[in-house]
Structure 1
Amino acid sequence: MDLSAIDPARTGLLIVDLQNDFLDPKGAYGRGGQKSDDIAALPARVLPVAEALREKGGWVISTQFTLVPGKGGEPFISPHLKELRPFLAKGDFCPGAWGHQLVDLLQPADLTVEKVAYSAFFMTRLEWVLKKAGIDTLLVCGIVTNGGVASTVRDAHVRDFKTVVLSDGCAAFSRETHERSIGDLSTVSKTMTCAEAQAWIEGL
């Protein structure tokens, strides 16, 4: 990928699942005792990249994990997720709720897409809105590196989007898992740190 040829106005910062229910102590994962200092540090690390891209006319896109409510508001939860996260309950990751929203530090997003699985492309309108906005390059950050980030990057790759994974703009619940995933993703995507991405954008 020739970084000097990238048009920032056709570039999007794709923020995967940096939501209150994942990151805030009052959110679903905080109440369930699932927290990570590496994950909590991401919004502040990603913010300068978002600001630099906005300044150059680029886009900020938030993909938001969603538990779709059914009858009586009870969420549809996949069996594997229920087994991993038995604390998930009614109202968690519910569309329109505080917990479902992008964390305050990174708001507002220019585009917001609900997602129901690891990949932000699976059964969503993401590809459609990216093409409508003229976006052909994605800087990907968020959580978790081996889950939503990895699946989304690989799906973007097969759809011919140019991708850059922000290596320290992503995190997992294990640093070893994160590092291994970044290594794996380097076979389909360019990787760089948030500071490197900020400097690159500012130089375009």
Structure 2
Amino acid sequence: MTAMLLVMDMLNDLVHENGGGAKTYVPLMKERSVLARTRAAIDKARAAGALIGYVRVGFSPNYRECPPNSPIFSRARSAGMFKLGTWGTEVHPDVAPQAGDFDIVKHRVSPFYGTSLEPILRARGVSELFLCGVSTNGVVHSGAREGHDRDYACTVLEDCCAGATVDEHDSALRCVARFAAIKNSADVTFS
């Protein structure tokens, strides 16, 4: 079975102390040591020979792909966040990609919708997905549900995710547990 670890929306705009969304996610991420746990999960997955995919939300500088009726993306546009080619859409340095990792850019919440993710998974024979990132109730929840519906075995690395609040995080995990295994990163093997 070929596995891929998806590290999703771990962007400077969202998870760096100096990012535009720092007040939303950084406090819970620090409390839960999400960056350090994610770094350890990436290293563990790499050592096991799993593929690593980085999913990043981003838009052209003029936001031409940004849906005008989206409450979440309209706020990002107003704040000048998620502009491709800027520091804000780079992956946080603590969990940064290496040469050969996959870079999947998305324009919606889902890591699958309108992206290169599924063609990459099919071409590489991936059958098992491990998902982590921010937010638990956004990209992680959406990715696990859609991965399930595309017949991938999905596991959410609970300790490598965060929502804006503990309640958001826990509620998302309760919902997604119908579609994916929920595990601690220390308890998974990637091979």
What interval of TM-score do these two structures reach, taking the shorter chain for normalisation?
A: 0.7 to 0.9
- Cα distance 1:162–1:87, how it changes in 2: closer, same or farther (>3 A)? same
Q: 1:187 aligns with which of 139, 159, 178?
A: 178
Per-residue CA deviations over 1:162-201 (Å, capped at 9, x if unaligned) read 100111211101101211111111111111011112xx34
SS of 1:28's equivalent?
coil
TM, length-normalised to structure 2:
0.88
Gaps of 5+ in 2: none
Specify the alignment match of 2:41 in structure 1: 49
1:1-204 → structure 2 map (5 Å cutoff): 7=1, 10-30=2-22, 33-40=23-30, 41-70=33-62, 76=66, 78-79=68-69, 80-81=71-72, 84=75, 87-89=78-80, 92-109=81-98, 110-197=101-188, 200-201=189-190
Percent identity over paired residues: 24
Q: Is the 8 A contact 1:69 1:76 kept in 2?
A: no
- Does the aligned pair in 1 maintain the 2:65–2:107 contact within 8 Å? no
Residue type at the aligned position of 2:27 = D
Structure exhibiting the larger radius of gyration computed from Cα positions: 1
Q: CA deviation at 1:154?
A: 0.7
Tell me if structure 2 keeps the 8 A contact 1:69–1:75: no
Q: Aligned in 2, Cα 1:184/1:163: closer, same or farther, shift over 3 Å?
A: same
Kindly report the root-mean-square deviation, in angstroms, between the aligned alpha carbons of the 2 structures.
2.1
Q: Which whole-Å deviations, capped at 9, do the CAs of 1:94-113 have from their partners, x for residues lacking one? A: 22222101111212251010
**CA-to-partner distance for each residue in 1:35-59, whole Å, 9 max, x for gaps?**
4322343221111111111112111
TM-score normalized with structure 1 length: 0.82
Q: In the aligned structure 1, how far is the partner of 2:73 from the partner of 2:123? A: 35
1:3 corresponds in structure 2 to: none
Q: Distance in 2 between matches of 1:133 and 1:107?
A: 22
Q: Which runs of 4+ in 1 moved over 4 A?
A: 82-87
